[in-house]
């Protein structure tokens, strides 16, 4: 499969998970393109005010994976802005994950995945797999990273 991993990462955690996923998928023989969404105003909280400087393309891939951090109990504004601006995603196979600091999905992880699902549904698509990684405790983090990676790899 030709797979795109599209990441927004402010401090590097989400990128680290994306890179581990890329290695896993490449080991299974897939071609993986990992690209970061970039914005000139990363700290902006209103998605409509985000000024994109790198907008990864979604066409030509068999599987799309989106990864982003939780900011203020929601999906990062940069990822929200990116998903809002995508063309139709009808019929696309997609997965998504988020990283958050606190060790409870109630601290924003579930909400962020729900935000991602709503934005993808608005484009005619849906997530086939999703994961929330809590960063605070190393043991739990590594378990959640590994579970998220295996769930997404099962789609490929
Ligand atoms: C502006 C901001 C808001 C955040 N809000 C939350 C939050 O609501 N809940 C949470 O668990 N972590 C929160 N965090 C922590 C990040 O979600 C967490 O460290 C994440 O793994 C960072 O991913 P990144 O390194 O890819 O940017 C916040 C971090 C920032 C910078």
100-118 pLDDT, tens digit per residue, is 999 876 789 999 999 999 9
- Write out the chain's pLDDT in tens, 156 residues: 999 999 999 999 999 999 999 999 999 999 999 999 999 999 999 999 999 999 999 999 999 999 999 999 999 999 999 999 999 999 999 999 999 999 876 789 999 999 999 999 999 999 999 999 999 999 999 999 999 999 999 999
pLDDT of the residue at 106: 77
| Protein residues with CB under 6 Å of any ligand 1 atom | 9-15, 69-73, 99-102, 107-108, 135
Query: What CATH class is the domain 2-153?
Result: alpha beta
pLDDT, tens only, 65-81 = 999 999 999 999 999 99
Atom 4 (ligand 1) nearest CA: 71
Atom 16 (ligand 1) nearest CA: 100
Atom 15 (ligand 1) nearest CA: 101
CA of 60 to the centre of ligand 1 (A): 31
- What atom in ligand 1 is closest to the CA of residue 15? 26
**Domain layout of the chain by residue ranges:** 2-153
109's tokens: 């992880």
CA of 28 to the centre of ligand 1 (A): 31
- What atom in ligand 1 is closest to the CA of residue 9? 26
CA of 29 to the centre of ligand 1 (A): 32
pLDDT of the residue at 105: 65
């Amino acid at each position: 499969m030709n797979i795109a991993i599209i990441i927004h990462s402010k401090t590097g955690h989400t990128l680290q998970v994306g890179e581990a996923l890329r290695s896993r998928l490449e080991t299974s023989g897939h071609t993986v393109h990992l690209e970061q969404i970039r914005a000139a105003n990363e700290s902006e909280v209103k998605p409509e005010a985000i000024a994109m400087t790198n907008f990864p393309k979604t066409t030509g891939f068999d599987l799309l994976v989106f990864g982003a951090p939780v900011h203020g109990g929601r999906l990062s504004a940069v990822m929200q802005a990116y998903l809002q601006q995508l063309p139709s995603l009808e019929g696309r196979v997609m997965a998504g994950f988020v990283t958050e600091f606190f060790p409870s999905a109630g601290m924003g992880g579930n909400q962020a995945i729900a935000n991602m699902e709503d934005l993808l549904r608005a484009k005619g698509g849906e997530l086939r797999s999703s994961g929330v990684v809590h960063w605070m405790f190393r043991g739990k983090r590594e378990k959640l990273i590994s579970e998220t990676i295996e769930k997404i790899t099962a789609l490929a």
